[in-house]
Structure 1
């Protein structure tokens, strides 16, 4: 929801950063790789009890993830870049979940439910993107929903900051993710007839 409706407010910063990185002769795929390396460190910082650093690297990776797409659109988007971007995004999310699961074993069952809900929601998202004839600014149809990447980062941030309430925060994230999955499923039924 925030990615779809709030992007216009942060796009100037994303555009400016993309232009600087292109002047430095970096490619979109290189920035995707950098965002990935920064993002996967999140779980390590969570595990070692450094929540503020974990949150900082998570959000930096998310910002660079937005920048790489803008860089691709300013140059030449590639299907390989899209594959890298989507795959690395999921691995960063897995890093956060694993960091929390190893640091807080009593919440593992809730984190497992969250992981399952992300798999379901992303399966619908990617399948609709592959099957839809609609196109957006990305290289496939981007299904908006209640829980997009920014909402996920906000919820991950709350889970990291308020780890004493981790189970409840995780179950809230699970519920939002499942709502989004059904939202996308119903939209898929409408547009793919």
Structure 2
């Protein structure tokens, strides 16, 4: 919901850093993999009860996720880079709730499962539409220059990171935060399906 509003604010400084990184030889794919490593470290920290360390590592993961796109814009975007970016993002988005479930299965397993179900619904509505948007030649730059069509929703990257941050800062409130965010993601999925079916109503 907030991603489109944040892009004009965060893209210029990220692009400046991305150009510097490109000049010293950093590749976009290398930045993606580095960010992924930090994301895995965040999940591992959370699973072992080190929630603040997990939050710091997750913040680095998200910063790297912004920088990989900036480096790609400086050096030239590729399909492989776009693929790795979205797939590894989804991997980390799933790993964080799972890590909370591992940290305290008795309290967190069911809320984490509900959130993962909502992520699954929201993500499938988003990714499936991107396939047909590509087929029809639809484009949008509302979320910045992307490798696929980003269909907006109530729960996007900024909202997800905010929810994860609250979970790390208030781990005892994870069940409530997870269930509330699962509802938001479910509503986002329903809105995306409704919008997508309207946009795809006409023949190719």
Q: TM-score range by the shorter chain?
A: over 0.9
- Structure 1 segments of 4 or more deviating over 3 A? none
CA deviation string 1:14-42 (max 9, x = no partner): 11221121111111111010110111111
RMSD of aligned residue pairs (Cα, Å): 1.2
Where does residue 163 of structure 1 map in the other structure? Answer: 171
The TM-score normalised by the length of structure 1 is 0.95
CA shift for structure 1 position 71:
1.8
* Secondary structure in 2 matching 1:190: helix
Shift of 1:168: 0.7
Q: Tell me the CA shift for residue 158 of structure 1.
A: 0.8
TM-score (norm 2): 0.90
Alignment match, 2:125:
124
- CA separation in 2, counterparts of 1:151 and 1:171? 14
d(CA) in 1 for partners of 2:51, 2:15: 29
User: Where in structure 2 are there 5+ consecutive unaligned residues?
Assistant: none
Residue 19 of structure 2 corresponds to residue 11 of structure 1: no
Aligned to 1:58: 58
- For the 8 Å contact 2:167–2:174, the answer to whether it is kept is yes
Residue number in structure 2 paired with 1:103: 103
What is aligned with 1:139?
147
Tell me how far apart the structure 2 counterparts of residues 84 and 128 of structure 1 sit (CA, whole Å).
18
2:192 equivalent among 164, 178, 184 = 184
Long gaps (5+) in structure 1: none
Conserved? CA contact 2:17–2:70, under 8 Å: no
Number of residues paired by the alignment?
193
Structure 2: how far apart are the matches of 1:76 and 1:159?
A: 36
